[in-house]
Amino acid sequence: MFPLVAPAIRRLNEAKYPAIVITNQSGVGRGYFPDSLIHAVHDLMTAQLAKEGAHIDALYYCPHKGDDACACRKPKPGMLERAASEHNLDLRRSFVVGDSYGDIQLAHRVGARAIMVRTGYGEGEIQWHSAQWPAPPDFIAENLNDAADWILRQPK
């Protein structure tokens, strides 16, 4: 995990924002790695966060390939809709933080606010593709900590 991820999530936890991880893991559908690896990574992440007093409320992943035509692979909204119904969330009052433009599209599709981080693939996406974005993110954050700052400044 990047430094400052745990403190950022802890601050969101303290402000009573549910923190949910939504991830495409087509490596499962392609047979590159088993489901159990996702659970192992989840357990490791949970343990690292717990050491710093942070937690995520849920993790959803899409194991399908792009051509499987499932309803969950981002930027399709299936996982967000499931998270919203299982955790009683109003997506229009939620935030999607991601490092790919697909995450921004996903946010726009459900009426959530979209935050792009420069970490991970983010900087490359911004440098090479932002001229073609049909709609920009609501905020571009240096990292998850900066994203948390922005979220916590918004009216609840």
The residues, any chain, with a CB within 8 Å of residue 70's CB and separated by 6 or more, are 62, 64, 76, 78
Residue 17: CB minimum distance to Zn ion, A:
25
Pick between residue 7 and residue 78 the one whose CB is nearest to Zn ion. Answer: 78
Which one among 8, 19, 62, 106 touches Zn ion, defined by CB under 5 A?
62
Rule CB under 5 A: say whether 64 interacts with Zn ion: yes
62, 26 contact by CB (below 8 A): yes
Q: Up-side HSE of residue 29: CA atoms within 13 Å toward CB?
A: 15
Quick one: which segment of 11-19, 38-46, 54-62, 138-146 binds Zn ion (CB under 5 A)?
54-62
Which one among 21, 56, 70, 152 touches Zn ion, defined by CB under 5 A?
70
Rule CB under 5 A: say whether 144 interacts with Zn ion: no
Residue 83: CB minimum distance to Zn ion, A:
14
Which one among 22, 73, 107, 122 touches Zn ion, defined by CB under 5 A?
73
Residue 24 to residues 71, 78, 79, 136, Cα–Cα distance (Å) = 12, 11, 10, 22
Rule CB under 5 A: say whether 76 interacts with Zn ion: no
Which positions lie near Zn ion, rule CB under 5 A?
A: 62, 64, 70, 72-73
